[in-house]
Amino acid sequence: MTIISGSILAANHAHLARDVTRAEKLGIERFHIDVTDGHYTHNLIFGNQVVEDLKKETKALLDVHLATYNLMSLAKQYAKSGADILTFQYETCNHPLRLINFIKEMGVKPAICFTPSTPYEAIDFFIEEVDIINLLAVEPGVGGQRFNGKIFSKIEKISEERKSRNKNLLISVDGGVNQNNIEMLVGSGVDILVIGSGVFQGNMEKNLEELKKIIS
């Protein structure tokens, strides 16, 4: 079953709880929370207090994406705040396996995220190590980019490898996911579609109805 993960970056930041609970009532069971530190990317968003407060408002899973430096310290903070999944950026991590084990020890599911330019060879190593591999289809921190179709070859390789190496591994795609590419993404083996504007912008009920039609 394909999962829609609502990216709250596209929600109304003044009314996050309202938008999240509304989306949950319409069937969204997972929310993607981007965290940036103003260093790896130029913007600064979503401190751990946001996660702690949203945890009180929703029963949905909260997937916190740490697109930051200083990952070990931040992982601890966000795990304490209630993150169900901690997705960390491979390109900013000096010791990925150490961080994965640290996340597991805190009782949180580990996931790892890769930019489009990171080669498949780097991704392959982690197939047995995490619960989710998240592939960015755009470079982090820059708006208005086109969906990078080169990630399809990576999706297909991961999908094939997990059959014998980690059947429980989920493949997630984030960035530029919309009605034009969802069918191809699902067909290539993607389990989780991280969608922001397509969920939260405009008529949320109509948006989700159309998304579910395409997926089904």
Active-site annotation holder among 34, 53, 84, 124 = 34
As a whole number of angstroms, the distance between CA 191 and CA 175 comes to 15
As a whole number of angstroms, the distance between CA 10 and CA 164 comes to 37
Active-site annotation holder among 19, 63, 131, 174 = 174
* Cβ atoms 145, 180 nearer than 8 A: no
Q: Is 174 a catalytic residue?
A: yes
Q: Is 63 a catalytic residue?
A: no
- Tell me how crowded residue 6 is: count the other CB atoms within 10 A of its CB: 29
Q: How far is CA 136 from the centre of its chain?
A: 9
As a whole number of angstroms, the distance between CA 110 and CA 90 comes to 12
Half-sphere exposure of 95 (CA within 13 A, CB side): 7
Q: How many residues does the chain have?
A: 216
Partners of 134 in beta bridges = 113, 172
DSSP letter (8 states) at residue 7: E
The set of catalytic residues is 34, 174
